[in-house]
Amino acid sequence: MITPEHYNEKSIMDEITNSVHNDLRKQIDNVIIEGLKKHGHEFKSTHEMIHFIKTRCRAVSFSTGVTIYYADEKPYLEMTERFEIEQQGNTFKATAGTYRFIDK
């Protein structure tokens, strides 16, 4: 939360940038979880999901900016991450990149 004593152009921009970045990261996390669901991996708890990801998933990133996500050595998601935040006056536009689910 920005309090009146913190109002200055840099701190407001930093606050907005951090907030947008966190929101985009959450959206990407949700895409990864949705991809796992499409491949039949559903979880009863966050702990169970984290354990699954740590022990049975991996990601391979290429110099082109593409990352392929695997579960049990089967690809399930292709993502091109490209974080961009643009300001046009009082409007901000954020882009996280593109993705596609890979069929079983």
DSSP string, 51-97: HHHHHHEEEEE-TTSEEEEEETTEEEEEEEEEEEEEEETTEEEEEEE
26-39 pLDDT per residue, tens:
888 999 999 999 99
Give the domain range for residue 71. 4-101
Domain count, the chain: 1
pTM equals 0.75
Q: What is the pLDDT of residues 11-62, one digit of tens each?
A: 777 887 788 778 888 888 999 999 999 999 999 999 999 999 999 999 999 9
Q: What is the pLDDT of residue 81?
A: 77
